[in-house]
Structure 1
């Protein structure tokens, strides 16, 4: 169907009167109007057209739209429908060849204009329908954050998280109902934030200021070992950095982290880019809890955690772009399943510390090629009144590429 029967029109707090000529034309010609309760309340009481309010779950509304395919439908959406909006979701089900999208100013653009911030220097995220712990990976000294709020409680939640992370001096600004007659801006400091009379429709701006002595957590590979809760089953910082370099994550790629331990590899993989995805497979119940706690604390709450032993639990998982095997290398059939599951152009990285593990890796080297690296790390530790070098277990790493 080539005809563009569906229009998605961005609308601001100034309502229908604020629509552009093109947007107003699409709105006026539509036979069916869809949107949130707030959007439909902007319509004239005399508007007798068929109207639909978004349902919960949202998928039901998508089904409704598809069922009415070919009819003239206009969807009213807040701001820019393609910026954390309904437009991106709808286009997963209906091709752009059937859709016309007319954006309005996004909340991010409006906030930058109010604050005088350079949009290209700002970190943007949404906490609407998402875990607040997503914020954790965005916090660093000097960061400027723009956050779409879940509601009136979001500013208090964010202020509390900043304070607990040692960023209590951060400046917090709440921008309510931007571009409307009830627009209001509130400003305070995270550690002393006390505002509760806040509109549900708000955008949050944060200037991150670290307390004295706080060590920032980088997004680049190699977080301190102390950043993770663990029982010793942890890929150490230096080895982790080399391993992630070998895994070479790209935005949007999926990692299988087999024998995940405390989840350090998959968490750092996801911290590298907001679109990176990972599945952590671990059989130890205590470590499963560590993975969940670490993922939340370090800003990767969408890390998928699977309890069980490989290779049994990996048979029907989504196709990975990369696989890390940090445990269970000698399990019968594990490498065969992983290699067959890996997409063409993908890579497997495996770390071992035993001779038996090296034998397994060498057999695969003979079979598919790749390369070996031996990683030897020494750390300075006290010896009486002095410092001396203490060696960690040597790690043999094999990287295989599926061409």
Structure 2
């Protein structure tokens, strides 16, 4: 059982009643721990789904329960809890702190007011039925989330446990595997685990896979992925040809892979960061950022319709649901966006000076701005900015010369050199420690 201190004192010395979140496990005829039974005995109000309340009533047949209410919409739940002077019990499925309601409570109430009682989850039960070690599986919730979010995880050799809904049922999962080239995969659908009507279906992923009829609402799906390829590579550096562009394969308005990897490395996006990709083109940098830092929020700002369509296609192709598309011309399109911690300026449309000023003003201390320069004018403006910004500055010139060995000879193609700049806002600690370069350290052209 996860347990915290049971009370807290407010500024008026009033003691707030505890909220006890009890996981019920997956067994039709399960039982509660002694601690959970004690929580029920002390509660003034019990809240749960109708199925959970019925389960509880059957479990304590003949005993008097506290007042019970059906779980409302989550937006209405705090008012119900706050209206109760005594302790409240909320019933949850499985382990409330593992893809359950526990996170929701943790984000809204002080920890000392919460007490969690864990139980076996449907995820653990599915692993037990199939003989899979949980630590060897990836776990993903598609419940109430876009199915496209699965695509970033579709890699051969992986095993995924999926919490699904009507839009991510077995037929949709099979279609996603086929789309990703994983046509040798196996899908298990585990229904009503722990109940008398428990069933487990095994489905081989093929073009003519027999899916069967309707499945129960209480289900967990398990995918064992096999095939020649997946939607995304195992390591950063998506092939240029994998992107939809406004030119031919690997052409058009995208940052080439070698340059793109440098940009991602310079930005170092962290979990929780908001990242702006200004002048995003067809979205290769934004996609790469969103893919490898799934806990960041990436905003791709682009004004041209055809490129916006390419960004949308690439977002769906790679399943980067944390990528938001912002139509419009910068800097005007930036006005209503959430302040960033990281900014990349890939295209300025002749407005590099005003973009630098606007983006820099929105960054916090320690924030990073990176920009690319292909023309002498843009490079000159970025070098001038380095002399006036209150931050460190560095640059890297990337010159790509790609070679292909064909018919007994090497054939090389040289790309136009790109100069990348990275600026980081000073804060008192970084300036005093000398860990960051000073603006004067920036070379004229390197």
State the SS of the aligned residue for 2:326.
strand
Gapped regions of structure 2 (runs ≥ 5): 1-7, 10-15, 247-251, 427-446
Q: Deviations over 1:111-144 (max 9, x none)?
A: 2222222222211100011011111011111001
If the length of structure 2 is used for normalisation, what is the TM-score? Answer: 0.83
If the length of structure 1 is used for normalisation, what is the TM-score? Answer: 0.92
CA contact 1:62–1:90 (8 Å) conserved in 2: no
Corresponding residue number in structure 2 for 1:296 = 316
State the SS of the aligned residue for 2:287.
helix
- After TM superposition, list the pairs within 5 Å mapping 1:34-45 onto structure 2: 34-44=47-57
Q: Deviations over 1:132-164 (max 9, x none)?
A: 111101111100101111149612211110011
- After TM superposition, list the pairs within 5 Å mapping 1:105-124 onto structure 2: 105-124=120-139
CA separation in 1, counterparts of 2:187 and 2:113?
Answer: 42
CA separation in 2, counterparts of 1:281 and 1:122?
Answer: 36
State the SS of the aligned residue for 1:260.
coil
Corresponding residue number in structure 1 for 2:365 = 344
Tell me whether 353-362 or 9-18 shows the greater mean CA deviation.
Answer: 9-18
2:213 is the alignment partner of 1:200: no
In the TM superposition, residue 61 of structure 1 has moved relative to its aligned partner by 2.5
Q: Deviations over 1:306-348 (max 9, x none)?
A: 1111111223422322111111174142112211211222211
Aligned counterpart in structure 2 of residue 183 of structure 1, from 198, 202, 205 = 198
State the superposition RMSD in angstroms.
2.4
CA contact 1:329–1:357 (8 Å) conserved in 2: no
Query: What is the number of residues matched between the two proteins?
Result: 399
State the SS of the aligned residue for 2:161.
strand
In the TM superposition, residue 249 of structure 1 has moved relative to its aligned partner by 2.4
- After TM superposition, list the pairs within 5 Å mapping 1:326-365 onto structure 2: 326-328=346-348, 330-331=350-351, 332-365=353-386
CA contact 1:33–1:73 (8 Å) conserved in 2: yes
Tell me whether 325-334 or 385-394 shows the greater mean CA deviation.
Answer: 385-394
Q: Deviations over 1:273-318 (max 9, x none)?
A: 3322211111112222221221111011231211111111223422
Gapped regions of structure 1 (runs ≥ 5): none
In the TM superposition, residue 261 of structure 1 has moved relative to its aligned partner by 1.5
* Greater Rg by CA: 2
- After TM superposition, list the pairs within 5 Å mapping 1:367-386 onto structure 2: 367=388, 368-380=391-403
CA contact 2:142–2:168 (8 Å) conserved in 1: no
State the SS of the aligned residue for 1:26.
helix
In the TM superposition, residue 228 of structure 1 has moved relative to its aligned partner by 1.4
In the TM superposition, residue 12 of structure 1 has moved relative to its aligned partner by 2.0
2:324 is the alignment partner of 1:307: no
Q: CA 1:36/1:227 → structure 2, altered by over 3 Å: closer, same or farther?
A: farther
